[in-house]
Amino acid sequence: MALDTNSSGPPLDELGAHVSVAGGIHNAPGRAADIGAVVCQVFTKQPNRWAEPLIANDIIGRYRAAAAGLAFVASHDSYLINLASPQPDLWRRSADCFTGELQRAAQLGLDAVVTHPGNATDGDHASGIERNAAGLVEALEATPGGPRVLLELTAGAGTSIGGSFEDLASIIAAIPEPHRARVGVCFDTCHAWVAGLDLREDFEGVWQRADDTFGVHRIELFHLNDAKTPFGSRLDRHENIGEGTMGLAPFRQLMNAARFRNVPKILETPKGDDLVTADRRNLAVLRGLRERG
């Protein structure tokens, strides 16, 4: 999803970060402002618990008022969700949980929900893709007019689904219209690098492959992360921008790629003990890579 641009000025800064919702989700917009961002990502619930909270109407109102100055907000779904699971009970619980996530995002007026495609733990990759698509369709049908669903490119370890462009294309193709029109892609730079997509030596080739599979126009969000682990390792370990195995070169190219200028770009880099300082530092590095025209 492209950001709206100012009517009388340059495009809005598309850079932001995943921000804390400690004390209530209505606090998240202020934390985005603290790091100088008008885009951000949040959790609408504790990501490592199944409990499905109801957000009180007054909190929804406070969040919406506080978020009036934000240009783009996504939520990230629970880490427990596995829509590719071959286990009926886990799949059912995952589908219900994802539907709950989509509905909370709709109540808050969020732009998108980012989701990991899950794991086909029985080794049946094709069936895992079909199960994932079925779960997404169920949630989309239950939340008409709600936020968009963005499939996150994964690191591709083990039985995970979504570690290749072909996986993402297959999931999207398995979702019938009109629901398919609400589905896009979240491109995580660390995941891409460790999955074997060479953003350093074949930057343009990566986007050509994306266009040849799911369509590069479907990339509606970036997670910007360097990698602690080597290229092609399939190990998902995020690092600060320019301090990992990717280095600054891919980020410089991305920050100056005209086709992605207005696509939101969100940090998921290590925060340490000082969340604000860490995010400001990484955002400053990225802004410093942008060429001034």
| CA dist 30 → 13, 19, 76, 275 (Å) | 17, 9, 19, 13
Is 9 part of a structural domain of the chain? no
Residue 202: CB atoms within 10 A of its CB come to 12
Give backbone dihedrals phi and psi of 112, rounded to 5 degrees, phi first.
-160, 160
Q: Is residue 118 part of a domain?
A: yes
Does residue 5 lie in a domain region? no
Cα separations in angstroms, 200 against 98, 147, 286:
34, 33, 16
In a domain, 77, yes or no: yes
Q: Would you say residue 200 lies in a domain? A: yes
CATH code of the domain covering residue 201? 3.20.20.150
Q: Domain range for residue 162?
A: 15-289
Q: Which residues of the chain have pLDDT under 50?
A: 1, 5-9
Residue showing tokens 């996504």 = 74
Cα(281)–Cα(285) distance, integer angstroms: 6
Identify whether 228 is part of a domain.
Answer: yes
* Chain segment 76-100, per-residue pLDDT in tens: 999 999 999 999 999 999 999 999 9
Q: pLDDT tens across 161-194, in order?
A: 999 999 999 999 999 999 999 999 999 999 999 9
**Residue 175 maps to a domain:** yes
Specify the pTM. Answer: 0.95
DSSP E strands in 100-158: the ranges are 112-115, 148-152
Domain count across the chain = 1
Would residue 194 count as lying in a domain?
yes
